[in-house]
Amino acid sequence: GQNIDQPTEMTATEGAIVQINCTYQTSGFNGLFWYQQHAGEAPTFLSYNVLDGLEEKGRFSSFLSRSKGYSYLLLKELQMKDSASYLCAVSGSSNYQLIWGAGTKLIIKP
């Protein structure tokens, strides 16, 4: 079957660095997405990886290894506003359908 795993919850300290992992098993691969969702709000797009390697975008970076079925989202210089859920999603065999992880709730402490 198709599956995406990510930790349920993580805690980090303001100003620190945190890495949120995502592993996937899908039939087909057309890219991996990370979305941020603050409590009670809509998910918003953070990053898209289709080739192996690291994509950097300001304080956020996303890494992909297709051979390992593995991605991570790296958040640097954490701020209180980064407290949110981070959703990993894979575009598998269908361009229209994404397979979603359950999300990782990130708690930032002062």
Partner 1 sequence: DVKVTQSSRYLVKRTGEKVFLECVQDMDHENMFWYRQDPGLGLRLIYFSYDVKMKEKGDIPEGYSVSREKKERFSLILESASTNQTSMYLCASQGFISTGELFFGEGSRLTVL
Told to check if 73 binds partner 1 by CB under 8 A, we report no
Q: How far apart are CA 54 and CA 64, in angstroms?
A: 7
Told to check if 18 binds partner 1 by CB under 8 A, we report no
How far, CA to CA in Å, does 33 sit from each of 11, 57, 67, 76? 22, 14, 17, 19
Nearest CB to partner 1, comparing residues 76 and 105: 105
Collapsing DSSP states into helix, strand and coil, what is residue 54? Answer: strand
Told to check if 60 binds partner 1 by CB under 8 A, we report no
Told to check if 78 binds partner 1 by CB under 8 A, we report no
Minimum CB–partner distance for residue 23 and partner 1 (Å): 14
Minimum CB–partner distance for residue 38 and partner 1 (Å): 11
Minimum CB–partner distance for residue 56 and partner 1 (Å): 18
9-13 and 104-109 as β-strands: parallel, antiparallel, unpaired? parallel
Q: How far apart are CA 110 and CA 95, in angstroms?
A: 41
Q: Which residues contact 40 (CB under 8 A, 6 or more apart)?
A: none
Which residues are at the interface with partner 1 (CB under 8 A)?
4, 8, 30-31, 33, 35, 40-45, 48, 87, 89, 91, 95-103
